[in-house]
Structure 1
Amino acid sequence: MPVSEHVIKSSLKAIEEPTSAHSVAHAPVVGEPSTSIAPIPQNDSRLISRRSSTAHGRLSTDSEGHHRSIFTHGEKWFIVAICGFAGTFSPLTSNIYFPALPTLASQFNVSVELINLTITVYMVMQAVAPSFWGTFADHYGRRPFFLACMLVLCLTCVGLALVPTNAYWLLMLLRCVQAAGSASTIALSAGVVADISEPHERGTFFGFMGIGPMVGPCLGPILGGALSQGLGWRSIFWFLAIASALLITRTPRFLPETLHSIVGDGSTKPSAIYCPLIPLVGRHRQRPLRSAPQPPSHDSKPKKPFTNPLKAFTHPDIVLILLYTGIINAASYSVSASISTLFVTTYPWLSQTDLGLVFLAMGGGMMAGSVAVGRFLDWEYGRVGRALGKKKETDNNEGKEAIGAVSDDAGRGDRRKEVEAGFPIEKARLRTMPFILMTFIACVVGYGWCLQAKVNMAGPLLLQIVGTVGFMVMAQMNTAQILLVDLFPTQGSTITACNNLVRSSLGAAFVSVIDLILTALHGPGWTFVLIAGICLVVGGPVLAIEMKWGPIWRERRRRNSIAVVTDVEKRETEQEA
């Protein structure tokens, strides 16, 4: 019997037994974090009460113990917009650099391969840094680390603008530090959106937040090409320094703290460092921390366990999702990193500014994919919920009232515990992915042979928009990201950092060898056939395994979490006695 059916039938049986009413009312949520990622799952009102009284913040809950956000729908959109703007800088600092690669190779008197290594080290640090920033943000709050990241970015951009051309090593070093500052903004933004969103609206919010990071691939190369051609390559880094300085002066004014362990549902007013200078959202619904009932003394407050981000890799379903998104991202990055050299060779009449305009196709496809797929995933979530509710209502009339709630509430996104305990979240998120994967693979193969045959430039640009680095890539990236947050909603920054670690590591590996492969296989035709083949061999089986075994692993993790929570409560009861 499938796991989802087993759980719902168990819930129906429990509804008929008065002695099990408490367990039904507080049945665990689908995809709640395991003990290694989030030691305290949100599956019991007693735990929620304890957590809200021992943490800094205060959680507003309904009768079933669900977290609610005090932010209105419009205020959530305002926060998402801030996060999207901050997330622009991670891809912007990477992509604005691409049109200037030939110029940098000439100025520093090194080969293009060595200049490409500056992209590789950037991606390596881009992979590693968010694992630390994101974990600290899940522990100490979002706002302080937003400001720290932007300060690091601003200072390193000034250093890069002043680096001497005989110090190639310094260029490499500063690019690493620059990545450490800029790359973490997306992980921090994902944590904020995870804090304020419910599953039924998460796809839309993540989709629109993704517009900001997509501005980087879209406008970055244009700005980079124009600045490099008109004012010299150093102007690229002066532009980034000024832009990041402006963000530092803006973000503290408006962005509220959203971490539940500090502000709860947003109604608890935190200390000054966590408060926006101009509190535009939620301020009329906040109450001082001292108004919380029976606040514990500072000495008696237990420490919140610190999360090791690498423990996410102990869960097989998480590893599979990370592997899939890593391979797709690596293939896409191989395309984007080779655009400058391939297009200059294939279409030699392009100027640096023209080369920057080539990247518009990539950015436009990404932006369209991010928004469209986000809305589609929310629609799929509701559709699967309604279908599940109708099926269970037909199969078991005794559970009509409970399962009828699945049809209505899952469609509207109400977070009912008995719904999500057996909700097939993997099916809701992944069932269209095989079609998207095959379309992406076909576009990658076609893109390579279009460049090999030197067809009209419209051909490879169209394939960029649709598949190689555009719509289909974002469809896969966003789907995987949203599923990861669904599985670990209280660790949004940490799980996003793990995703970024795998994606950037594999991307760096592919970028470091793409020029060698292009030379060995005599052009882009067979090179991108090879890359597409890797995506097919890895991606196809991963999707099949995740769809079949993912719900089983998730259910096992949920039960382990409940067992650990029970043991903790038992020990605390014994100590009190």
Structure 2
Amino acid sequence: MSLTAAEAEIAAETKRTDEDLDHASSDRDSIGEHGIEELHAGGGGDLEKTATLTRTESEAYSVFTVAQKWWIVTLIAVASFFSPLSATIYFPALSSLSKQLHVTTELINLTITSYMIFQAIAPTFFGELADGLGRRPVYIILFTIYLGANIALALQRSYAALLVLRMLQSTGSSGVIALANGVVADISHAGERGMYMGIVNIGAMTGPAIGPIVGGILDHELGWWWIFWLLVIMAGTFLTIVILVFPETGRKVVGNGSIPAQGINKSVLQLMRGQPKEQQQQCQTERFQRPPLRFPNPLVSVMLLFQKDMAIVLFTNSIFYTAFYTVMASLPTVYAEIYGFNPLQVGLCYIPLGVGSALSGVVTGKIIDRDYRIVAKQCGITMNRRKGDDMSKFPIERARLRSIFWMAGVYVAVLICYGWVLHSLAAPLVLTFIVGAFGTGLFTILSSLIVDLYPTKPSSATACNNLVRCLMGAGGTAVIESMLNAMGRGWCFTFVGLVCLLMSPILLVERRHGMKWRLARLERERRS
């Protein structure tokens, strides 16, 4: 098959870079996509010596079976559901809390702002911690914090306590967002990662739609405090499941899953089953050396912003995300003004958004994996479905961005139309479904690319993504009401759509030059 001009350029750039990287190729081939990470950790070769492995196990990217991968992904998708759920389930209770605590609506709204700030910052601490300590211990820490915060929120009856505890609640719930994509990167190589990323995003994107419905029912029927008691029940149940059965997946801790977990990284189920005799003997002589525990440095995540390829993807993803949240945040006010809906009725109007997001998670995952296969075929690369492919020779930027432009076009068109059809209820409900579907699709594609750009630090990269998009999303939701008042509904969402349209072409730069930038960055890291 003949290459296009773009393909020829990619091939030429890859060849030039390969000449600089030849001396590291044997290490990279033996340890796959995470080889550079293990070399940087100072123990890439030692990891495989710490367990009794068959040849097949040592060559596999992950020894987890397909069934085990789906079980793990289902758990982390549920975990990702908690942060957005906790943010929006609280909205219907704002009036009740204002009256009971005898404070103004402005002060109650401050608890939303503080939640979003901590939602942005917390993952930068826990992302780096999870990349070194392991995923399982950090999940336990975060859900313990979250559980305690919800118990206190259900019992508190003062504004000061509400403000502080909402920050603590956000810290516990939002930290898991960075962990989810890290787990996906642990157990799946780039060629199969799309479907799993899509499933994880179902949890993250349906939470905002379901939260207002549940919160409205609980506040109306039982009282606002039952919102937090429900979260206590849910968090307690999930934490128990994590402690009992969730396995460690961190590649710095268990490699490709073949190295036996130790201490808190081992689940109760693994403790009950015991360790095979040959692994016990091996571990007595050559134990895995955990990296020294240190206080997490949030700057590790923040510094990723200054990489050219990462900055482009983060900024564009944040623009799309902010547009999504302007639709969602303005919905209660707009629908109440036009149709006179009460909080419960407004909550029900989020259902199309949630359904669109859920369906998109599955469909987009398939599209991502299909695009990977198409680009591999076009470049003459035979996919290695067991070990994963050598990303130094694969244009992952081109594969991930293959379908994003037509999806962005639909997304922009729907945003522009949305503001002009709000007076007919059926039309905006249909459009919010499309916003949910294509918005989630865009987020899934770009989130997958972010993990691909930093496979050695997937949780830190995701934390950086979360920091940028949450801060921009908070800014968007803060000004949307003023924009609606000043510009009118139609021109307001036309402006939002046009901003997305103007920013989308930046991704063409990433598609054209991203591979060159990525390989140059990896070479600098290898030499440092």
TM-score with structure 1 setting the length: 0.81
2:388 corresponding residue in structure 1: 415
Listed one character per residue, the Cα deviations across residues 385-428 of structure 1 (whole Å, up to 9, x for unaligned) are: 01110xxxxxxxxxxxxxxxx2x326x575243xx322111110
Q: Which one of the candidate residues 41, 45, 48 is aligned to 2:44?
A: 48
How do residues 60-99 of structure 1 correspond to structure 2 at under 5 angstroms?
68-99=61-92
d(CA) in 2 for partners of 1:31 and 1:4?
21
| 1:388 paired to 2:353 | no
2:365 corresponding residue in structure 1: 374
1:91/1:73 Cα in 2 relative to 1: closer, same or farther (>3 Å)?
same
1:448 corresponding residue in structure 2: 419
| 1:544 paired to 2:508 | yes
d(CA) in 2 for partners of 1:52 and 1:296?
11
d(CA) in 2 for partners of 1:508 and 1:551?
32
d(CA) in 1 for partners of 2:392 and 2:57?
14
Q: Which one of the candidate residues 494, 505, 524 is aligned to 2:489?
A: 524
d(CA) in 2 for partners of 1:211 and 1:359?
15
How do residues 143-222 of structure 1 correspond to structure 2 at under 5 angstroms?
143-164=136-157, 167-222=158-213
d(CA) in 2 for partners of 1:427 and 1:297?
38
d(CA) in 2 for partners of 1:244 and 1:327?
31
2:128 corresponding residue in structure 1: 135
How big is the shift at 1:209? Answer: 2.3
Q: Report SS of the residue matched to 2:191.
A: helix
Return the letter of the residue paired with 1:547: R
d(CA) in 2 for partners of 1:483 and 1:285?
38
Q: Which one of the candidate residues 416, 426, 431 is aligned to 1:463?
A: 431
1:500/1:52 Cα in 2 relative to 1: closer, same or farther (>3 Å)?
same
How big is the shift at 1:93? Answer: 0.5
| 1:339 paired to 2:335 | no
1:286/1:493 Cα in 2 relative to 1: closer, same or farther (>3 Å)?
farther
TM-score with structure 2 setting the length: 0.88
| 1:4 paired to 2:16 | no
1:562/1:150 Cα in 2 relative to 1: closer, same or farther (>3 Å)?
closer
Asked if 2 retains the 8 angstrom alpha-carbon contact of 1:211 and 1:367, the reply is yes
How big is the shift at 1:379? Answer: 0.8
Asked if 2 retains the 8 angstrom alpha-carbon contact of 1:430 and 1:547, the reply is yes
d(CA) in 2 for partners of 1:336 and 1:517?
15
1:439 corresponding residue in structure 2: 410
Listed one character per residue, the Cα deviations across residues 5-27 of structure 1 (whole Å, up to 9, x for unaligned) are: 1255569999xxxxx7x865555
Listed one character per residue, the Cα deviations across residues 277-333 of structure 1 (whole Å, up to 9, x for unaligned) are: 1239998889636505963797xx975897722221231111111111111111111
Q: Which is worse superposed, 26-35 or 527-536? A: 26-35
| 1:472 paired to 2:438 | yes
1:496 corresponding residue in structure 2: 462
How big is the shift at 1:33? Answer: 8.2
Q: Report SS of the residue matched to 1:465.
A: helix
d(CA) in 2 for partners of 1:297 and 1:140?
13
2:227 corresponding residue in structure 1: 236
1:13/1:514 Cα in 2 relative to 1: closer, same or farther (>3 Å)?
closer
Compute the RMSD of aligned alpha carbons.
3.3
Q: Which is worse superposed, 126-135 or 350-359? A: 350-359
Asked if 1 retains the 8 angstrom alpha-carbon contact of 2:13 and 2:516, the reply is no
d(CA) in 2 for partners of 1:132 and 1:269?
26
1:382/1:289 Cα in 2 relative to 1: closer, same or farther (>3 Å)?
farther
Asked if 2 retains the 8 angstrom alpha-carbon contact of 1:156 and 1:177, the reply is yes
Asked if 1 retains the 8 angstrom alpha-carbon contact of 2:418 and 2:428, the reply is yes
1:75/1:354 Cα in 2 relative to 1: closer, same or farther (>3 Å)?
same
Asked if 1 retains the 8 angstrom alpha-carbon contact of 2:450 and 2:461, the reply is yes
d(CA) in 2 for partners of 1:382 and 1:205?
16
Asked if 2 retains the 8 angstrom alpha-carbon contact of 1:59 and 1:260, the reply is no
Asked if 2 retains the 8 angstrom alpha-carbon contact of 1:103 and 1:233, the reply is yes
How big is the shift at 1:358? Answer: 1.0
How big is the shift at 1:370? Answer: 1.2
1:313 corresponding residue in structure 2: 305
d(CA) in 1 for partners of 2:11 and 2:447?
26
Asked if 2 retains the 8 angstrom alpha-carbon contact of 1:254 and 1:280, the reply is no
How big is the shift at 1:157? Answer: 1.5
Asked if 1 retains the 8 angstrom alpha-carbon contact of 2:190 and 2:389, the reply is no
How big is the shift at 1:484? Answer: 1.1
Asked if 1 retains the 8 angstrom alpha-carbon contact of 2:353 and 2:433, the reply is yes
1:570 corresponding residue in structure 2: none
Q: Which one of the candidate residues 498, 502, 513 is aligned to 1:533?
A: 498
How big is the shift at 1:29? Answer: 10
What percentage of residue pairs aligned between the two structures are identical?
34
How big is the shift at 1:106? Answer: 4.6
Return the letter of the residue paired with 1:191: G
d(CA) in 1 for partners of 2:432 and 2:497?
14
Q: Report SS of the residue matched to 1:82.
A: helix
1:487 corresponding residue in structure 2: 453
d(CA) in 2 for partners of 1:506 and 1:60?
47
1:28/1:484 Cα in 2 relative to 1: closer, same or farther (>3 Å)?
farther
How big is the shift at 1:147? Answer: 1.2
Asked if 2 retains the 8 angstrom alpha-carbon contact of 1:98 and 1:337, the reply is no
1:99/1:122 Cα in 2 relative to 1: closer, same or farther (>3 Å)?
same
How big is the shift at 1:351? Answer: 3.2
Asked if 2 retains the 8 angstrom alpha-carbon contact of 1:60 and 1:265, the reply is no
1:6/1:304 Cα in 2 relative to 1: closer, same or farther (>3 Å)?
farther
How big is the shift at 1:41? Answer: 5.8
1:335/1:116 Cα in 2 relative to 1: closer, same or farther (>3 Å)?
farther
| 1:427 paired to 2:398 | yes
Listed one character per residue, the Cα deviations across residues 129-166 of structure 1 (whole Å, up to 9, x for unaligned) are: 011111111111111111111111112112222332xx
Asked if 2 retains the 8 angstrom alpha-carbon contact of 1:87 and 1:212, the reply is yes
1:401 corresponding residue in structure 2: none
Listed one character per residue, the Cα deviations across residues 470-494 of structure 1 (whole Å, up to 9, x for unaligned) are: 0111111111111111121222211
Return the letter of the residue paired with 1:179: S
1:175/1:421 Cα in 2 relative to 1: closer, same or farther (>3 Å)?
same
Q: Which one of the candidate residues 509, 515, 522 is aligned to 1:558?
A: 522
Structure of higher CA gyration radius: 1
2:3 corresponding residue in structure 1: none
Count of matched residue positions in the alignment of Structure 1 and Structure 2 = 518
1:508 corresponding residue in structure 2: 474
d(CA) in 1 for partners of 2:349 and 2:285?
61
